Structure 1
Amino acid sequence: MKRNIKKAVVLGSGIMGSRIACHFANIGLEVLLLDLSPKELSDQEKAKGLSLDSPQVKNRVVNDSLQAAIKSKPSPLYHKDRAALIQTGNFDDDLHKIADYDWVIEAIVENLEIKKSLFEKVEQHRKPGTLITSNTSGIPINLMLEGRSEDFQKHFCGTHFFNPPRYLRLFEVIPTKKTDPEVVDFFLNYGDLYLGKETVLCKDTPAFIANRVGIYGIMSGMHTVEKMGLTVNEVDKLTGPVIGRPKSATFRTMDVVGLDTAVKVAAGLYEGLPKDESRETFKLPKIVKELYDKKWWGDKTKQGYYKKLVNEGKKEILELNLQTFEYESKSKVKLDVLEKTKNEEDLKKRLQLAISDQGKEGDFYRATFFDLFRYCTFRIPEIADELYRIDQAVAAGFGWELGPFETWDAMGVKECVEQMKAMDLAPAAWVDEMLAAGHETFYTYENGQKKYYDIASKAYKVVPGTEGFIYLDAFKENNVVWSNDGATIYDIGDGVLNVEFHTKMNSIGGEVIEGINTAISMAEKEYRGVVIGNEGQNFSAGANLAMLFMYAVDQEFDEIDLMIRQFQQTMTRARFSAVPVVAATSGLALGGGCELSLHCDAIQAHAETYIGLVEVGVGVIPGGGGTKELTMRAADQYMPNDPELNILQEYFMNIATAKVATSAVEARDMDILRGSDRITLNRARLLADAKKRVLELADAGYTMPTQRQDIKVHGRSSMAMFEAGITGMKYGAYISDHDAKIARKLAFVMSGGDLTSPTLVSEDYLLDLEREAFLSLCGEPKTLELIQSVLFKGKPLRN
């Protein structure tokens, strides 16, 4: 049966329901968000003389919830305009409308009887064949079927999002024995292609996959912390980005999620898993129970493992002493393993350093990782028949870069097993059988495909649903055609090269510049095109500031000039190559990363691309063609007799305020993404989609663009417009003297210089102005202060 989802109903407008509605709107669905009507009037409603039957009163709960979601940060919407796709209503008056919708998802309170009561009402209005699902995380899906019709049961399953639904990539699909297989297949495909999620088929077991394993890992870690006497800040430093986990790490995550929520899940698992061999781990250690009993549940109660104080306008973050349960100033953390790993960009190498450390950090890592590995081996086939499902669910649900089995692979399976047995943490027997058969990894790559070890057949099989994906690891053994310390070029098949950066934050320095130029030169001789992209967290955080700072401090302006010329020439090379070049952006694409993207033939952007020209934040203007590019794009949109120059002014402000798009959709609104650029919802598909775009351009008879000579600039007239704005901002104390100086330099370039009348200029002309402005700002002491603050303190400075 062919299905199309055009309209969806969300039942329940709480934190999850309202944000699920927002994500549905993100992908273009018409959404109806319903909730209960209030049982009492608010004081404000009484003052207005309203009654409980007034429409605005009946929809107060749902409207307030939706507005709270829309205003929350980070935003649940790709763009504020998407909110218009969401209509609100209440269960009393609007439940009948579900007859016109394709998918109804329930996200109300975690109470089985209340859910069943709502489903009974839903069934009175739902048309046969309509998909009906529950977002529950703690109630068995099959228990909700009692009393429901055969058609309801066939089209019902669990579809569990993780909060926040826009940002966390997991979408668990949990069928019952009565769910039609066609419905299951539909959701697995829909979650991947349209919701942009890591879509994982789960069994109807307590907490499904991600929470079962993830909460176990948290509780196991808490017991270990208590035994070892580690501090809150030490643990968060050890369990954050250094091992491929979110910055919130362990304790900060507990504060954000809410300790009461984690405790509720852990208690439910303890109660619901009488046969789990590690059941006792779900019991609360003192460092959890003490806070739970005090109701120090984190952000929702204003204190948890951390507490924020404000004294005389200054904020201070205190951490909890886990011995005394008193708050203290955050401890300074200096751990050997962090020193060893701080300059290592390769996560797998960092994990190897972590597990082999011989200090207390290594002891902590071995205790927690090995126990998690052991636990996962015993969950097959209980919660999943295949190990890759556990990795997919845990990594996507908790924001880990690698799942448990992938992490184990990175550390060395055989070596870890020997140590695990010595620590009385032996894995399930199937791991020994796998090793004995000569299979020493859980995953392998063959012919560009990722394969997992299948326990039942004792052989490697392709991970289902990934046949069209591109994994750069799959090309590392036989398809590397060139590399240096900053970049690697892969042959990813069909005549396409891929340039991967592997500098810190994928910053663009001399080695990356060399890699881009080499890839384009090779492609022009033997290949059809180039993708510039990676599988990391970020596309590129910009140019190499450390090198610029060194030259600027030493006043080596000739070196800076040469560096900027090389950067500009490389951006120009990407634009004027004989083959198509496509940027595959995701995460941060800032400064030079944005400039590179602007000059490629096309951008294939992951929806979560945060892109912008941010150079003003370090005291300079975009010098790699970014200023030129937006000036040119503004000129292409001028209307005849437009004295206001609104487009140019808007683009000027975007650069002058270092505005960053908070999604690819917003980047399109800023004209950083053009109408021809495309957006990929599922991050795992990004490189494959970018390669497809290269081939489309090549097959369409790609012709190298020519240098533009017809860019209209306005000289003194636009300079006067910009000056009025800058002066107003200055007198209003919104910007400093140095901010004004930077803005004037930017205005000079975007106006085309001191021209007496509107003039047509070339790209090279604007690049020269750009470079001269950049160079002059590098000689400013306050610019050096700005660069130094970002480099050494990690934050911008207002001077």
Structure 2
Amino acid sequence: MSNFIIRKVAVLGAGVMGAQIAAHCANAEVPVVLFDLPAKEGDPNGIVKRALDGLKKLEPSPLATADRVQYIEAANYDQHIAKLAECDLIIEAIAERMEWKLDLYAKVAPHIRPDAIFATNTSGLSINKLAEGCPDSLRPRFCGVHFFNPPRYMSLVELIPCKGTDAPLLDNLEAFLTTTLGKSVVRAIDTPNFVANRVGVFSILAVMHHTQRMGLGFDEVDALTGPLIGRPKSATYRTADVVGLDTMAHVIKTMTDNLPNDPWAQYYAAPQWLQALIAKGALGQKTKAGIFRKQGKQIQVLDLAAQDYRDSTGKPADEVVAILKNRNPAEKFAQLRASAHPQAQFLWAIFRDIFHYVAVHLETIANNARDIDFAMRWGFGWQQGPFETWQAAGWKAIADAIAADIAEGKAMASAPLPAWVFEREGVHEAAGSYSSSAKAIQGRSMLPVYSRQLFPERVFGEAEERGTTIWESEGVRMWTTGDEDGKRVPVLSFKSKMCAVGADVLDGVQEAIKRAERDYDGLVIWQPKPPFSVGANLQQIKPVLEAGDFATLEQVVANFQATSMAIKYAKVPVITAVAGMALGGGCEFVMHSPRAVVALESYIGLVEAGVGLIPAGGGCKEFAIRAAQATARTATNDLMLILQPVFMAIAMANVSKSAKNAKELGLLKQDDVVVFNANEILHVARKNALAMYESAWRPALSPAGIPVAGRNGIATLEMMLVNMVEGGMISPHDYKVARSAAVALCGGEIESGSLVSEKWLLDVERAQFVDLLKTEKTQQRIAHMLETGKPLRN
């Protein structure tokens, strides 16, 4: 068996999706050739080059680091089509027009290598009809691979075979998408709009129908259909604006054209008001006006009755909010259905109709119920999929309520619920999820790639493994899995809210390291759910600060530093496995671990300046040491070249925009490992710990004689601050905080070039930290953060 390795990718089409798919391949160290038509004037590669320039300006950035764009080669079909033969995977991502795609296939097919994969990124066109445009020899290597926008950030990729697609090819491609690109794959059936868009677009159409039926405002509906019901902040109508109203209408039309006999077919049409907006070019966010628009600082919403925009003021009724806060799903749904309030009736209706829809269509649109639920979580950002929500609310009670509404003509369609609904207690169970087509429970994929996901995402009702506890305290849990790696390398997880670091966590980390040194070959600090850690637990220090007990506060800081040093100098490797945020003290733990394994979408930073403090868990000390070590390898021997960007990052509380960006900022070491799929970081972290142990790894010795920038360095950094204060960029207290960071980074008010110890640097940063705690403005910042969750710039 030969290894399946994709060395180079070609992307056909430099539009929004094509360019961003290319960017994400480049993020993953896969070089890309990005094709488009030759420009009619000037540089023949002008279309692609403009797309590449556009990648640099997009926010959030499709590029993990700005330099990724250099690994995308611009090409056009007329001059460079032969380059396709260099590529192992070709992804077509041009506009959703069947005839255009088929014309392109005829052009490129002769240049595709006999062993290369050819895939189309279509949101809903028939894969089998597209396959008919490929030569017979290419069809076994043709499939659909539907990325969701934006490709870097959206987890879901739908993988859709045509009738002749080679099964091992699909397995190999799924492994590449999962590990290399970090995606969550759902195998889809070749049906219009596949899984996520089929269910998601129907859900939006149901919301539109009931909005009009109940006479609700678009802003009122968005207030109801966002986080209150476990969906993204962009809710429904704002999501349509972000996607593009023209794009939304196109996806709806796919259903209109291809599902004429569907029980819900009458609803597969863009409402007249949507068509009117599109006709006048109000396409949503990309044209700065759609359902919503911004006038100055005010968000306005389209008012259909007034045929004009008005200020957006819609909000959920108190009665409905009270119902939604009920943590018992069965009671919540019963109350929504029973309530006479229009908003409650609206919510019951949209849930009822999506439950009805997925039950009727499960057999034809998905392999099993799990695929539908994951598709909606990964592709549309729902906290729970429709089947999960139904099952959590009481399967039989909801089924009976839906059946009653169908009988009374209240549901959007008259199709009866399938018989299997009444024969079961739900669709998810420990062994797997129900498949209507197979009339059986289907377990998870057994592809080898999923053995890397030790704790994959679960659906409601599925068995969940938590490991075996070795030792536990108020702040942490040390535990292990039953496999051989787990027996050698246990896991340490924090129990605090947002994994904040307080005294109980600090003591727990130190105790866990002692136990790991005594009984195991390593330790991984990993949180089953992000974040890794938001930093110090300010709530714990608040009463001590209010009491003015600064001696105790200094002891707390010293204990924080001791914990970081315990991680750094443990006699077995202590690996930090990071996904999500690692801020403040969490970042300092990462900086001190001999190796970090970090998911690409990790946001790491020393953010203490936001509460009027500086890093004092060893962060400033560690940067001072790294600067000295890096400077020793340069000809100029100028510490300030290294310290200046570090200082600005601390002073401005900068947070990395990706794990790779964290390396650029110096927050991660160059040999720290970036993993694209967050579900794989525990596996990779344990393997790294074992590899280090087996290679007779020893912690680095504490450096002696560390050269520091001293007074001259502090003065240099202060000059930067003076300009910022005079320019109104920072306040006088920002200046004080930043100067304290400068003192810590430069080793204190001592002679420049002095040689100091690691302990000296820790003492300096701790002293600066405690001095800031004594200031009124820092105390105000801490209080404001605890009250509002937002920084105060006083």
Cα RMSD, aligned residues only = 3.2
Partners of 2:547 and 2:298 lie apart in 1 by 37
Offset, 1:789: 4.6
SS class of match (1:610): strand
> Is 1:156 equivalent to 2:142 in the alignment?
yes
Q: Who is 2:38 aligned against?
A: 37
Q: Is the counterpart of residue 376 in structure 1 residue 358 in structure 2?
A: yes
State yes or no: 1:118 paired with 2:104: yes
2:468 is aligned with what amino acid? N
* 2:712 is the alignment partner of 1:717: yes
Instruction: Mark the CA change 1:502 to 1:309 in structure 2 (over 3 Å): closer, same or farther.
Output: farther
Q: Secondary structure at the match of 1:378?
A: helix
Structure 2 counterpart of 1:25, which letter?
A
Mean CA deviation greater in 574-583 or 377-386 = 574-583
SS of 1:247's equivalent?
Answer: coil
Unaligned 5+ segments in structure 1 are: 40-51, 446-450
Kindly indicate whether the alpha-carbon contact (under 8 Å) linking 2:594 and 2:699 is maintained by their aligned counterparts in 1: no
Q: Which residue of 2 aligns with 1:44?
A: none
Cα distance in 1 for residues equivalent to 2:494 and 2:220: 31
Amino acid at match of 1:452: S
Instruction: Determine the structure 2 residue equivalent to 1:49.
Output: none
Cα distance in 2, alignment partners of residues 643 and 671 from structure 1? 17
Which residue of 535, 540, 546 corresponds with 1:542? 535
Please give the per-residue CA displacement for 1:191-227, whole angstroms capped at 9, x wherever unaligned. Answer: 1121111122211110111111111122223333344
Amino acid at match of 2:5: N
Say which SS state the counterpart of residue 137 (structure 2) adopts: helix
TM-score by length of structure 1 reads 0.87
Task: Give the alignment partner of residue 596 of structure 2, picking from 599, 603, 609.
Answer: 603
Pair 1:566 & 2:559 matched: yes
Q: Select which of 254, 261, 266 maps to 1:275.
A: 261
How far did residue 427 of structure 1 move?
A: 4.8
Cα distance in structure 2, aligned partners of 1:26 and 1:232: 38
Compared with structure 1, are the counterparts of its residues 443 and 652 closer, same or farther at alpha carbon in structure 2 (3 Å cutoff)?
A: farther
SS of residue matched to 1:81 = helix
Matched, 1:452 2:436: no
- 8 Å contact kept, 2:369–2:427: no
Look up the match of 1:743. Answer: 738
Amino acid aligned to 1:83: V
User: How far 1:79 moved relative to its partner?
Assistant: 1.0
Alignment of 1:379-394 (within 5 A): 379-394=361-376
Amino acid at match of 1:568: Q
Structure-2 change in CA distance of 1:506 and 1:369 (3 Å): farther
| CA-CA distance at 1:184 after TM superposition | 1.7
**2:778 matched to which residue of 1?**
783
SS at match of 1:183: helix
Asked whether the 8 Å contact 1:354–1:365 carries over to 2, the reply is no
Quick one: which of 465, 473, 480 aligns to 1:491? 480
**What do the CA deviations read for 1:336-376 (whole angstroms, capped 9, x no partner)?**
589779999xxxx6867864665656655443334323322
Shift of 1:512: 4.0
Shift of the 138–65 alpha-carbon distance from structure 1 to 2, 3 Å rule, reads same
* 1:98 to 2:84 alignment: yes
Q: Distance in 1 between matches of 2:471 and 2:265?
A: 51
User: Within 1, Cα distance between the matches of 2:729 and 2:39?
Assistant: 44
Structure-2 residue corresponding to 1:766 = 761
1:190 aligns with 2:176: yes
Contact map agreement 2:713 2:752 (CA 8 A) in 1: no
For 1:76, what is the secondary structure of its paired residue? coil
Displacement, 1:171? Answer: 1.7
How far 1:141 moved relative to its partner?
1.6
- The separation in 1 between residues aligned to 2:722 and 2:467, in whole angstroms, is 59
**Map of 1:451-490 to 2, 5 A cutoff?**
451-453=432-434, 456=438, 458-459=440-441, 461-465=443-447, 466-471=450-455, 479-481=468-470, 488-490=477-479
**What percentage of residue pairs aligned between the two structures are identical?**
37
- In structure 2, how many angstroms separate the alpha carbons of the residues matched to 1:26 and 1:741? 38
Given candidates 281, 284, 308, the residue that maps to 2:294 is 308
Q: 199, 202, 205: which one pairs with 2:185?
A: 199
Structure 2 CA distance for aligned equivalents of residues 622 and 230 of structure 1: 49
Equivalent runs, 1:246-645 vs 2, <5 Å: 246-284=232-270, 288=274, 291-292=277-278, 295-310=281-296, 315-321=297-303, 324=306, 326-331=308-313, 333=315, 336=318, 355=333, 363-414=345-396, 416-424=398-406, 427-435=417-425, 442-444=428-430, 451-453=432-434, 456=438, 458-459=440-441, 461-465=443-447, 466-471=450-455, 479-481=468-470, 488-493=477-482, 494-495=486-487, 496-501=489-494, 503-513=496-506, 515-517=508-510, 519-549=512-542, 551-553=544-546, 555-639=548-632, 642-645=637-640
Q: Distance in 2 between matches of 1:774 and 1:342?
A: 43
> How far apart are the structure 1 equivalents of 2:221 and 2:31?
44
3-state SS in 2 of match to 1:642: coil
Q: Distance between the aligned counterparts of 1:710 and 1:338, measured in 2?
A: 65
Q: CA deviation at 1:179?
A: 1.9
2-side partners of 1:131 and 1:307: how far apart? 43
Tell me the matched-pair count: 767
**Rounded Cα–Cα distance in structure 2 between residues aligned with 1:259 and 1:403:** 24
Q: Is 681-690 or 19-28 further displaced after alignment? A: 681-690
**For structure 1, which segment, 270-279 or 65-74, has the greater mean C-alpha deviation from structure 2 after superposition?**
270-279
1:658 corresponds to 2:644 = no
CA gap of 1:443–1:622, structure 2 versus 1, over 3 A, is farther
- What is the distance in 1 between the residues matched to 2:352 and 2:691? 47
Listed one character per residue, the Cα deviations across residues 645-679 of structure 1 (whole Å, up to 9, x for unaligned) are 31122222221222221111111122222132111
Distance 1:579 1:521 in 2: 10
**Post-superposition offset of 1:787:** 3.6
Query: Using a 3 Å threshold, how does the CA distance of structure 1 residues 238 and 491 change in structure 2: closer, same or farther?
Result: farther
- Whether the 8 Å CA contact 1:354–1:362 is kept in 2: the answer is no
Letter in 2 for 1:577: A
Change (3 A) 1:746 1:99: same
**Change in 2 beyond 3 A, CA 1:631/1:415:** farther
User: Is residue 687 of structure 2 the alignment partner of residue 668 of structure 1?
Assistant: no
Unpaired segments of 5 or more residues in structure 2?
none
Kindly state the Cα deviation for residue 540 of structure 1 after the two structures are TM-superposed.
2.4
Is residue 2:9 matched to residue 1:8?
yes
Q: TM-score under structure 2 normalisation?
A: 0.88
Cα-to-partner distance string for 1:26-64 (whole Å, 9 max, x where unaligned): 11222211212344xxxxxxxxxxxx4x4x2x2222211
Cα distance in structure 2, aligned partners of 1:357 and 1:571: 50
Partner SS, residue 298 of structure 2: strand
Further displaced range: 706-715 or 132-141: 706-715
Say if 1:240 and 1:518 are closer, same or farther in 2 by CA, change over 3 A: farther
Question: Structure 1's 634 and 14: CA in aligned 2 closer, same or farther, altered over 3 A?
Answer: same
State the secondary structure of the residue aligned to 1:136. Answer: coil
CA distance in 1, matches of 2:766, 2:224: 42
* Contact 1:222/1:287 (<8 A) preserved: no
2:197 corresponds to which residue? 211
Which amino acid letter does the alignment assign opposite residue 327 of structure 1? Y
Secondary structure of residue in 1 paired with 2:581: strand
1:738–1:9 Cα change, 3 Å: same
Greater shift, 591-600 or 13-22, is seen at 591-600
Question: Which shows bigger deviation, 142-151 or 499-508?
Answer: 499-508
CA distance in 1, matches of 2:565, 2:598: 20
> Against the structure 1 CA distance between its residues 461 and 610, is the aligned structure 2 distance closer, same or farther, given a 3 Å change threshold?
same
Contact 2:20 2:151 in 1 (8 A): yes
- 3-state SS of paired residue (1:124): helix
Contact 2:545 2:553 in 1 (8 A): yes
